[in-house]
Structure 1
């Protein structure tokens, strides 16, 4: 084989090898796409958890700062009433 045909053949083989590694080898483009999908899912999960943490921090601050928040929680969740108050329960009319 002459030198004029050998160089393009070697370059073509190298190109084929690099393309194979790019599409099918370790750390290939499909691997990159799969990893990007995992990253997107993790970012979304982190955002949801951060939002939940912010709500919990706000609840904690309300409970630390104000007795009104504690009183409101006690009334709503435990059904407590203050001394001297009268509790009324209004039931919906039966149809």
Structure 2
């Protein structure tokens, strides 16, 4: 009877091995599930990005307003008879004044 119970315990252990440690084990299934979840998140972000790009392409194909906006912001273009004012922020003014004072000739003693 003792030998029979040992044989049965060994058979049960052999049957459990593939379930826990084999090729299609629970651990591998869990890892693949995590990879699938991660890939779904990446896909959702890419879908949002693609939708944004698609809307931008449709806007550029259909309307001249988007093209004009791009030309103004990226290329600095203006319309004919239009005035362009470039307003410097405070820190840009200080940097430009400092670079001018560094490049100026040093003043010598006046006689």
Q: TM-score range by the shorter chain?
A: 0.7 to 0.9
How large is the RMSD of aligned CA atoms in angstroms? 2.1
Query: In the alignment, which residue of structure 2 is the partner of 1:58?
Result: 55
Asked if residue 23 in structure 1 is aligned to residue 16 in structure 2, the reply is no
TM-score of the superposed pair, with normalisation by structure 2:
0.72
C-alpha deviation, 1:40, in angstroms:
1.1
TM-score normalised by L of structure 1 = 0.82
Which residue does the alignment assign to 2:38?
41
SS at match of 2:87: coil
User: When the two structures are aligned, how many residues end up with a matched partner?
Assistant: 92
- Counterpart in the other structure of 1:75: 72
Q: Which structure has the larger Rg? A: 2
Where structure 2 has 5 or more consecutive residues not aligned to the other structure, the ranges are 95-111
Q: Which has the higher contact order (CA 8 A, sep 6+)?
A: 1
- The whole-number CA distance in structure 2 between the counterparts of 1:87 and 1:70 is 18
Shift of 1:10: 5.1
